Amino acid sequence: MKFFNFIKKLLGIRKRKEKIRNVIFGLRIRAVFLLSIVLLFTCFLFVIFIYFIQYNLILKEKNERFLNLTSLMEGSSSLYLYYKDSKLPEEELTKNYLFISNEISKFKELNSDVNSIFLLDDRNRVSLSLPKSNKFVSELIKIQKKEKTQKLSSKEIKEKIFDKSKKKKYIKHYRMVYLPVILQTGDLILINNDFDEIVTSLHKKGINDKKKQNYHALLVNKYKELMENQTNIPFYSYSVDEIFIEIYKNLFKNIGKLKYEYIKDNWLFNKNWLSNLNQKVEKALSNNNLIEAKKYDEEIYINMQKIRSYGEDFKYLGVLGVVFDLSNIKLQVNRNQIFFIILASLIFVLSVILVFIATGHILRNIKKMEKWALEIANGNLDYQIKIKQKDEIGRLADVFQMMIEELIEKYHLEKFVSSSTISMISQKRGEIEPGKVGRKKLAFLFSDIRGFTSFSEKNEPETVIEILNLYFERQVKIIKKYRGDIDDYVGDQIMAHFDGENKADTVVLVATEIMREISKLNEERQKNNLPYFEIGIGIHIGDVVIGNIGTELRMDFACIGDAVNTASRLCSIAKPYEIIASKTLITETKKFFSFEELAPVKLKGKESPFEIVRIKW
């Protein structure tokens, strides 16, 4: 401890407590704050969800009650609306009306939130209303005029009300539920079903005479009572199409629908058009003109379908509507919501308290580690803490302890060996001896600053180092960009090597890019009247030995071989702004590079002249 304090005092290093930030928004506060936001949002969604669930359940229950009412009144309301415009005895109509009115009154009494109930016929006329003066009928009539209701539907209605006592306006909400009254049984349904089966078979599928006779007999027997006393023409003399025309005609007449206001195509119930078309069909068949016969038969079928469409339209008898006052429903829902809000608030408070307690336990261990780190920063490497929990904090404490042990080890190791040797030791655990590690093919680059030696003799060391570092920095950035390794700095020269599948291309790219970068730098310095320097580069490729160089007492990790020496000598013969490469390297490149072949040169250590090229950049 005294040793560390002595070193700090000697070097002028003070305690750095002022650099340790103050905790303003700590983990506990953040955890509680974030949980509070999440819980508040969750509780809010929960309350909203419960509100809509309750609201929809109540509305669903109201719809089911309404459907029960319509199911109970289905027969009476259908008969009443069906025969409303007919010559049915007044007593029968009155009986149905009283039954419907009584059921509606009971329904309203049992449901205090029902504002009004009304029944419209197919002409949107009010057949029954409770109360009689109903302000919502006009709203339903507007809907029915646009499109007749075919299923259970609803609509929200807002009414502006002025409270005279409080002299204040407010909006009251209602919900109108309405359901069509559609005929389900009776003669009209039977006739429509028979029409779909018989007329379609007669005109579309084609049937033989025997089957026609069977259909004819079926219709005569089935609708004889409906047709008798309606015409002086014997019923048995009609064709199948004529029977259906006569049946629909008399049925529509009975229910008061055979009027122009209901049926625009009254001429269809005059059988003259059918006789004319049948004659045309027979004439075409006698002339063996099947196409013409089919054309007239299709025209008959189309006109019969028009009659059938009126039979379908008259199934729609009207619409039954009920208006609910939503104020009572919302009041009931709001009462329930108070309970759920209190429940959600209790859950929120309890959760926050639990998280506050849990984070306090975690923070105690973090505080221990903080104190540990401060002790280590002050030089007390022997300080220890105990964290027994087998969780992430405990694991972090173990990792922290390993880190401290490594720092102590490196601290003692650096007293005796260099940093590069430590790197080598870290890669190879175990006994390390000097000697060959392996042989490898690498590409080498040597870059030398021309004229720098004489400049350094004439200028201050600080200026020399500053400029040298500037030129080195520009070159090293490019070397590192292409993942090259810096082997050494020798005075004003850089040695680097490149590995990989495309090392030949890479070393050429690096050399040309360095040359362009230095040229650009020199232009800038020349404009500012600053000293500038040219460089020469030599590049070569070849096999080298990679190994631990030195003795057991002192060793280093280096590349040794002819390829290194050759690259260095090529650099020495390169002129300023010149890149000299071996022809061997150029032949191994995969990309195209512009170069100029030079006369072979005599290099030290080589018996025959060495082939070289100048790379154009």
| Residue 571 within a domain | yes
| Residue 416 within a domain | no
Closest by CA to 507, choosing from 488, 524, 482, is 482
In angstroms, the Cα distances linking 368 to 18, 151, 372, 386 are 20, 72, 6, 9
In angstroms, the Cα distances linking 576 to 455, 515, 602 are 16, 10, 20
Low-confidence winner among 7-16, 233-242, 262-271 (lowest mean pLDDT): 7-16
| Residue 591 within a domain | yes
Side-chain half-sphere CA neighbours of 610 within 13 A: 21
Asked whether 140 and 132 are in contact (CB, 8 A), the reply is no
Residues forming beta bridges with residue 171, ordered by sequence position:
160
Average pLDDT, integer, range 489-512: 91
In angstroms, the Cα distances linking 429 to 14, 70, 142, 236, 445 are 37, 91, 92, 116, 31
More confident residue, 540 or 321: 540
**507: domain CATH number?**
3.30.70.1230
Q: Which residues contact 470 (CB under 8 A, 6 or more apart)?
A: 521
Residues forming beta bridges with residue 9, ordered by sequence position:
none
| Structural domain ending residue among the three candidates 268, 294, 314 | 314
| Residue 222 within a domain | yes
Cα–Cα–Cα angle for 299, 304, 305, nearest 5°?
Answer: 95
How far is CA 186 from its chain centroid? 55
The residue type of 550 is G
Compute the distance between CA of residue 598 and CA of residue 596 in angstroms, rounded to an integer.
Answer: 6
Helix (H) or strand (E) run with residue 320 in it? strand 316-325
| Residue 289 within a domain | yes
- Name the burial class of residue 363, with classes exposed (0-12), middle (13-18) and buried (19+) by CB atoms within 10 angstroms of its CB: middle
Place of tokens 């920063």: 377
Cα–Cα–Cα angle for 513, 519, 521, nearest 5°?
Answer: 105
Structural domain count of the chain: 2
| Same domain? 447 vs 301 | no
| Same domain? 610 vs 464 | yes
Compute the distance between CA of residue 412 and CA of residue 406 in angstroms, rounded to an integer.
Answer: 10
| Structural domain ending residue among the three candidates 260, 282, 314 | 314
- Name the burial class of residue 235, with classes exposed (0-12), middle (13-18) and buried (19+) by CB atoms within 10 angstroms of its CB: middle
Average pLDDT, integer, range 422-437: 58
Give the phi and the psi of residue 346 in degrees, each rounded to 5. -65, -45
Compute the distance between CA of residue 69 and CA of residue 100 in angstroms, rounded to an integer.
Answer: 10
Q: Is the pLDDT score of 333 beyond 70?
A: yes
Cα–Cα–Cα angle for 8, 13, 17, nearest 5°?
Answer: 110
Which pLDDT band, with edges at 50, 70 and 90, does 430 fall under?
Answer: low
| Residue 574 within a domain | yes
Residue 248 tokens read as 């629909």
pLDDT of residue 585: 93
| Same domain? 564 vs 437 | yes
pLDDT of residue 412: 64
Report for 19-33, 240-254, 256-270, 585-599: range of highest mean pLDDT:
585-599
pLDDT digits (tens, 9 = 90+) for 178-229: 888 888 888 888 889 988 888 888 888 777 778 888 888 888 888 877 665 4
Low-confidence winner among 348-352, 356-360, 386-390 (lowest mean pLDDT): 386-390
| Residue 191 within a domain | yes
pLDDT of residue 392: 75
Asked whether 539 and 581 are in contact (CB, 8 A), the reply is yes
pLDDT of residue 107: 77
Per residue, what are the HEC states of 94-156? Answer: HHHHHHHHHHHHHHHHHCCCEEEEEEEECCCCEEEEECCCCCCHHHHHHHHHHCCCCCCEEEE
pLDDT digits (tens, 9 = 90+) for 508-542: 999 999 999 999 999 999 999 998 899 999 999 99
Average pLDDT, integer, range 588-595: 90
pLDDT of residue 85: 67
More confident residue, 604 or 259: 604
Q: Is the pLDDT score of 576 beyond 80?
A: yes
| Same domain? 454 vs 595 | yes
Residue 89 tokens read as 């005895």
The residue type of 561 is G
Average pLDDT, integer, range 488-501: 89
Residue 450 tokens read as 């021309």
The residue type of 368 is K
What is the signed CA dihedral for 115, 121, 125, 129, rounded to 10 degrees?
-30
pLDDT of residue 10: 37
Supply the DSSP symbol for 22. Answer: P
pLDDT of residue 511: 95
Q: What is the pTM of this model?
A: 0.46
| Same domain? 438 vs 578 | yes
Give the phi and the psi of residue 135 in degrees, each rounded to 5. -80, -10
DSSP per-residue string spanning 281-318: HHHHHHTT-HHHHHHHHHHHHHHHHHHHHHHHHTTEEE
Compute the distance between CA of residue 130 and CA of residue 61 in angstroms, rounded to an integer.
Answer: 21
Residue 163 tokens read as 């409270």
Summary mean pLDDT of the chain: 80
Q: Which domain holds residue 602?
A: 433-615
The residue type of 97 is Y
Residue 446 tokens read as 């040597």
Neighbours of 400 (CB within 10 A): 16
Burial 275-303 (b: 16+ CB within 10 A, else e): eebbebbeebeeeeeeeebeebbeebeeb
pLDDT digits (tens, 9 = 90+) for 389-420: 777 777 877 787 787 777 777 666 554 443 44
| Residue 72 within a domain | no
| Same domain? 440 vs 294 | no
Average pLDDT, integer, range 247-252: 85
Q: Is the pLDDT score of 2 beyond 70?
A: no
| Structural domain ending residue among the three candidates 279, 294, 314 | 314
Which pLDDT band, with edges at 50, 70 and 90, does 427 fall under?
Answer: low
Cα–Cα–Cα angle for 245, 247, 250, nearest 5°?
Answer: 105
pLDDT of residue 613: 94
Side-chain half-sphere CA neighbours of 152 within 13 A: 14
| Same domain? 309 vs 448 | no
